[in-house]
Amino acid sequence: MAAASGTTNVADESVSDVIDSAAEATNEAAQEVNQFVQFVQDNIPNIIEFGIKVILALVFFFLGSKVIKWIRKIVHRSFERTNVDAGVAQFVDSMIKFGLYALLIFMIATNFGIESSSIAALIASAGVAVGLALQGSLSNFAGGILILLLKPFAVGDYIVVTQEGIEGTVKEIQIFYTKLATVDNQTVVVPNSILTSNSLTNVTARPERQLDLKVGIGYDSDLKKAKKLIEDMLYSDSSVIQDEDIKVFVDSLGASAVVIGLRAWVKTEEYWATRWRLMEQIKLTFDAEGIEIPYNQLTVNVKSGQSV
């Protein structure tokens, strides 16, 4: 009986400890909840004020975005009326967009109670680090300014950067990049620093472009007849500018062909169409007139009585 009584007392004490622990945990949780509720009640004005500021900031950003778009439209229309170069218009538009959005964010930040002096100090301290991290972007920005000032090309020109293997029609000149459209309508985004630090060829800088073609004929073919046929093609082609110099000449004596050169002037926008058309016309005419256009070949002469 004594042993059983001792066991019962130990069990009662364990249950009591569990109940006490649960009660203590419940009291602590209730205190934390009460503290949170009290904190919310004490800071309701501040929370409401902060929420109002957030809503006002969103509204202000929305309205500011509309104003920025309106300003950009006005500037764009003024550029259209004054016939400003498209590259300059695009560059200025991107500058206005970047600057006005930066000003808008600055105004919103000050509206949240951040002092303008603190923002200025933050910008100044971060400027050095950002400048070091964005050296490439800064050089691209400087390159964009040089492109607009020196005008090595304009929107709509076809340029070739031989060192980089880049070529295409200029579609946009932005702050940091210039967009080109290739012949197969792919968009190439080129950093401005590449365009200002490498030599480039502006194919369409002038309204006229020289057409320079070469075609080989066999040594047994009639050279004068071949030259006369090519001359007739050039003088009868509507895309060839007749007021400019037209030349048909023997360019070189090759290993297996006499190379005839031809030079004429065409409008820049008609260059490729004229080139392709003349090449086809020369081939068909020479075939019809019995003038051979040879390919690389090796002729072996075997003397009589010798085996090969």
> Is residue 267 in some structural domain?
yes
What pLDDT sits at residue 30?
A: 67
Distance of alpha carbon 302 from alpha carbon 308, whole angstroms:
8
Contact 211, 246 (CB under 8 A): no
End position of a domain, from candidates 133, 168, 186: 133
pLDDT: is 135 or 234 the higher one?
234
Of the spans 106-110, 133-137, 186-190, 277-281, which averages the highest pLDDT?
Answer: 277-281
Which residues sit opposite 143 in a β-bridge? none
The dihedral sign for the CA sequence 144, 149, 150, 151: positive
The single-letter DSSP state of residue 270 is G
End position of a domain, from candidates 175, 202, 229: 202
Name the residue range of residue 79's domain: 17-133
In this structure, the answer to whether residues 149 and 49 fall within a common structural domain is no
Tokens of 88: 């300059």
Mean pLDDT in residue range 248-263: 92
Reported as a pLDDT band with limits 50, 70 and 90, residue 175 is: confident
- Give the model confidence (pLDDT) of 192-244 as tens digits: 888 888 888 888 878 888 899 999 999 989 999 999 999 999 999 999 999 88
**Residue 86 amino acid letter:** A
In the sheet where 166-173 sits, what is the strand order? 187-191, 177-181, 166-173, 158-161, 201-202
Q: What is the CATH number of the domain that holds 163?
A: 2.30.30.60
What pLDDT sits at residue 1?
A: 47
In this structure, the answer to whether residues 193 and 223 fall within a common structural domain is no
- Give the model confidence (pLDDT) of 4-60 as tens digits: 455 555 555 566 666 666 666 676 766 676 676 666 666 667 667 677 777 877 888
Tokens of 73: 């439209």
In this structure, the answer to whether residues 27 and 99 fall within a common structural domain is yes
Contact 200, 159 (CB under 8 A): yes
Q: Which helix (H) or strand (E) holds 167?
A: strand 166-173
In this structure, the answer to whether residues 63 and 125 fall within a common structural domain is yes
How does the average pLDDT of the chain come out, rounded?
79
DSSP-based three-state secondary structure for 199: coil
> Is residue 29 in some structural domain?
yes
Q: How many domains does the chain have?
A: 3
Pairing of strands 166-173, 158-161: antiparallel
